[in-house]
Amino acid sequence: MPPQLAAEPDRPDSAALSFKRHRSLKEQIIGVVLFVCAAASVLVTVGIVAVLLRETLGFFAEVSLVEFLTNTQWTPLYVEKNFGIMPLAVGSFLVAAGAAVIAVPVGLLTAIFLSEYAGGRLRGILKPLLEILAGIPTVVYGYFALTFITPLLRSVFPETDVFNAASASIVVGIMIIPTVASLSEDALRAVPHALREGAYGLGATKYEVSTRVVVPAALSGVIASFILGISRAVGETMAVTIAAGALPNLTLNPLESIETMTAYIVQASLGDTPHGTIEYQTLYAVGMTLFLITLVMNVLSQWVLSRFREEYQ
């Protein structure tokens, strides 16, 4: 604390007043600058929506919404153009569903292990390992999928394509385990100890306490973590681009080559799509679809969290 503050005079002499006025002006400027920085974050959202909307509207001036939603082919970069989002959306769905099949049970059981079973030292080792898993760049997961998982899959199912949805699903699943596990664990640990002790006192086993008391009590947080994890899987780009391929293929067979919405955006921006053409606008239309899907899921996860939260003291 600077000494002159404590010595600040109480007398209403003019020097002190001008000092105070000066100080309050400086204070106000600082307040405004800080506010502008915080408000900039709103500007980012406005920017994203405006940028996506402008070109998407241009896109829908030429392609009808009905065609976009119902056409089963996506070939905007070919001579014969089709603009059906379905193959890309189903591709994203296929990868996200496969990832959820892995990450939801593994993530939840990991969270239960960390919160109910593991002692302090074991947690101290396991938590940082999960953080490392979460911090590995997605391009590395792509490499792992292509050079390790895919050959493994092909040795079991020889009909598997070199690029396939299953390989991408597996690595994206591994990738979102830490998201599901750490958010679920936070929710489980927030359940008060008295609830567990009450159940133990009635003779319940650890398994019964975990599955019938702790998880139900933390259900809103657990479900929110699932939704957030799946939303991340839908938005995942590099691993999917590398492992799943670039073939907009309307299929539910995970062993086939597909293309997700994110992979299409990368593919279209790598090629030279001239500014202002319909091909260029597809990038924004797909981006908008992706943005809306993940936004709905994120809002849903926040809603579940606040609507179904159990309040404990």
Partner 1 sequence: MSPPRVPLGAGGRGRDRRRRVAGVMFAVACTAATMVGVVALAVLLGDVIADGSHRLTGDFIGSFASRFPERAGVKAALLGSIWILGLTAVIAFPVSVAAAIYLEEYAPSNRLTKLIQLNIANLAGVPSIVYGILGLTVFVRALSLQRSILSGALTLSILILPVIIMASQEAIRAVPHSLREAAYGLGATRWQVVSLQVLPMAMPGILTGTILALSRAVGETAPLIMVGAVGFLAFTPTGGVMDQFTVMPLQIYNWISRPQEEFHELAAAGILVLLILLLTMNATAIILRTRFRRHH
Dist CA 253 CA 232 (whole Å): 22
Burial 165-178 (b: 16+ CB within 10 A, else e): bbbbbbbbbbbbbb
Proportion of the chain in helix, strand, coil states, percent, rounded to 5:
75, 0, 25
Least Å distance between CB 174 and partner 1? 5
Dist CA 11 CA 75 (whole Å): 79
Residue 63 or 111 having the CB closest to partner 1: 111
Least Å distance between CB 20 and partner 1? 10
Dist CA 295 CA 207 (whole Å): 36
Residue 253 or 278 having the CB closest to partner 1: 278
Measured in degrees and rounded to the nearest 5, phi and psi for residue 190 equal -75, -10
Least Å distance between CB 291 and partner 1? 5
Dist CA 95 CA 100 (whole Å): 9
Residue 117 or 157 having the CB closest to partner 1: 117
Q: Provide the CA 268 distance to its chain's centre, in angstroms.
A: 22
Q: Distance between terminal CA atoms of the chain? A: 38
Least Å distance between CB 29 and partner 1? 10
Residue 79 or 135 having the CB closest to partner 1: 135
Residue 160 or 241 having the CB closest to partner 1: 241
Contact 203, 277 (CB under 8 A): no
Contact 52, 284 (CB under 8 A): yes
Measured in degrees and rounded to the nearest 5, phi and psi for residue 275 equal -60, 135
Least Å distance between CB 209 and partner 1? 8
Residue 237 or 251 having the CB closest to partner 1: 237
Dist CA 177 CA 78 (whole Å): 38
Least Å distance between CB 189 and partner 1? 15
Residue 187 or 217 having the CB closest to partner 1: 217
Least Å distance between CB 80 and partner 1? 26
Residue 72 or 302 having the CB closest to partner 1: 302
- CA distances (Å), 264 to each of 95, 222, 229, in order? 14, 32, 21
Least Å distance between CB 301 and partner 1? 8
Cα-based angle 100, 102, 107 (whole degrees, multiple of 5) = 90
